[in-house]
Amino acid sequence: MPLWDQDEAAYAGFGKTMIETGDFVIPDYYFSHDHRKTPLHFWDIALSMLIFGYNEFAVRFPSFLAVLGTLLLVLYQTKKWLGIDVAFKSTVVLGTSILVTSLAKVSVTDATLLFFSTLSGFALIQTLFEPKLKWSIYFYLGIALALLTKGPPIIIFIGGFAGLLFLFHPNRFNLLKLHPWFFLPVAFLPVVGWGYLTVQQDGGDFLNWMYDWYVKRRVSGAVYGQTGPPGMHLGLMFGFFILSTMYFFQGFTDGFKSFVKDKQQLFVFGAWMIAGWLIYEFSPSKLPAYVIPAHVGLAILIGNRINDFKQKEQRPHLLLTALHYLLNIALGIALIIVSYFLEINDQLTIALIAIGVLYLLAITWQLVVYKTPRFFRVQSMSSVLLLIALWAVAPLFSKHINSSQKVSEYVLSNLDHESPIIIGYAPGMQPSLPFYLSANNNPIEVAFEFHDIRNIYDSIPNGAFILSADQDSLFRELYPNFTSELITSKIIDRKDMAIYYVHIKQ
């Protein structure tokens, strides 16, 4: 699929610019000012591009590896504490979370952050029961690299997690063997060193902007209108785990009950979930990915609950079961009818109808075997296959978000490599437009004011001009022989049509 605006395309631009300019310190790209962050994810993308080239696969490969690594950590580490059956079920639950699978397919910083948070989280648990130097190394390595990925979120999660363990767990004093008074400042050294380099480069402007944008504004209010009441994150997590609805509430409450009933193994995952989730309910700024570390603890609690039901040959409460199947039947029906409400192509319509029908058949199969030992396997297989099928047909949706690709293909097929490209119009300021336009290394210039565009037009013999309808009309009035190509597509991020008029001057 083409790159999604805004974040993913901006991050692709950061990685590409780092390679081309050699500046790996301060991320920079067209229309991407507000998407700048600490640079590790952009370094990952740049390295992937050096291997695979400037393409969507290279941009997304680091995020795929991060999610895959997270699932393997959950499988391997959970097995140590709760057994292979719980570990496997927990991995399936986490791997069929809609948000987690999305993070494996869209290159944003949260997948990388999830991996390093999970690494530190399991190292903290290991230290609680078996303090060794290697767990301290993994613990602080995860913190150091998470700080380089997204800054403060790792401190909020690990600080809350360690605090809950120290307050309530009988082995609390083992945590002191992590020697945080010495090694925590060491874990900050990579991000501090990077920050020092940014100050050397711009006198501190970038760091001041980051503090204002990512700390002050999110503490005092919301950005881009992304806000909501307390409880919003819990509701979103419930939605993301829709394929595990019948176990969600009992797994969730198990996390709280473990503070009283189980101060050994299950408690640590309850503390994990709470540390990654609760504080964000009281923040005015709300984004689903803020609580992504909590998904790991919650998935393990759900996996444990599923295994408990299976071992005892029990099923969830009838009302929870009914809610689960009502929601999942609604999901299957929605897949069938969604194409009638959206302007999508025939191939995608057929694919979604087929997936919806097959999922409804899978649900019927689940109900048939509901009382048999096969039920849990059939249910997990249905969840996995549903998401595989949905992601498999996702490229059929590309024509609705590929305006940047369509414009770039037209421009680059009609323009030599030396001629400039002037972006006079970029609805939604989508960074994917210059990213795709730069495939042949043509010089790119942004000029939105008509008199600036006209001055450039009069001063160059050859070039491509990407214009709005109004700009195109003005050119036609001034130059009788002026012609342009109309190119349109949806812009999903801005919920509007992208309507371009592309003129090739030769």
3 state DSSP class of 81: helix
- Return d(Cα 40, Cα 112) in angstroms, integer: 9
Measured N-to-C along each axis, helices 109-129 and 40-52 cross at an angle, to the nearest 10 degrees, of 120
3 state DSSP class of 5: coil
Model confidence over 231-265: pLDDT tens digits?
Answer: 999 999 999 999 999 999 999 999 999 988 765 67
Secondary structure (DSSP) of 249-313: HHHHHHHHHHHHH-SSHHHHHHHHHHHHHGGGGG-SB--GGGGHHHHHHHHHHHHHHHHHHHHTT
Model confidence over 187-210: pLDDT tens digits?
Answer: 999 999 999 999 999 999 999 999
pLDDT at 218: 75
> What is the chain's alpha carbon radius of gyration, rounded to the nearest angstrom?
25
Q: Which residues contact 506 (CB under 8 A, 6 or more apart)?
A: 462
Model confidence over 112-158: pLDDT tens digits?
Answer: 999 999 999 999 999 999 999 999 999 999 999 999 999 999 999 99
pLDDT at 301: 97
Under a CB-based contact definition with an 8 Å cutoff, are residues 59 and 11 in contact? yes
Domain 401-505 -> CATH class: alpha beta
Q: What is the mean pLDDT of the chain?
A: 93
Model confidence over 170-186: pLDDT tens digits?
Answer: 999 999 999 999 999 99
Q: Name the DSSP letter for residue 480.
A: T
pLDDT of 221 strictly over 70: no
pLDDT of 333 strictly over 70: yes
The single-letter code of the amino acid at 344 is I
* In the chain, domain spans: 37-307, 315-398, 401-505
Secondary structure (DSSP) of 238-253: HHHTGGGHHHHHHHHH
Measured N-to-C along each axis, helices 109-129 and 133-150 cross at an angle, to the nearest 10 degrees, of 160
- Return d(Cα 473, Cα 88) in angstroms, integer: 61
Under a CB-based contact definition with an 8 Å cutoff, are residues 135 and 127 in contact? yes
pLDDT at 492: 61
Please report the sign of the dihedral spanned by the C-alpha atoms of residue 233, residue 239, residue 243, residue 246: positive
Model confidence over 387-423: pLDDT tens digits?
Answer: 999 999 988 888 778 889 999 999 999 999 999 999 9
pLDDT at 343: 65
Task: Produce one character per residue of 430-445: b if its CB has 16 or more CB atoms within 10 Å, e if not.
Answer: bbbbbbbbbeeebebe
pLDDT at 77: 96
Residue 312: both structure tokens together: 């005892």
Under a CB-based contact definition with an 8 Å cutoff, are residues 440 and 417 in contact? yes
Under a CB-based contact definition with an 8 Å cutoff, are residues 504 and 464 in contact? yes
- Return d(Cα 400, Cα 233) in angstroms, integer: 29
Mean pLDDT, residues 437-454: 95
Share of the chain above pLDDT 70, in %: 96
Mean pLDDT, residues 341-357: 84
pLDDT at 402: 85
pLDDT at 226: 76
Model confidence over 466-478: pLDDT tens digits?
Answer: 999 999 999 999 9
Model confidence over 71-85: pLDDT tens digits?
Answer: 999 999 999 999 999
Torsion of CA 256, 257, 261, 265, to 10 degrees: -50
Residue 381: both structure tokens together: 């297989």
pLDDT of 60 strictly over 70: yes
Pairing state between β 463-467 and 444-446: unpaired
Burial class (CB in 10 A: 0-12, 13-18, 19+), 459: exposed
pLDDT at 264: 66
Under a CB-based contact definition with an 8 Å cutoff, are residues 40 and 145 in contact? yes
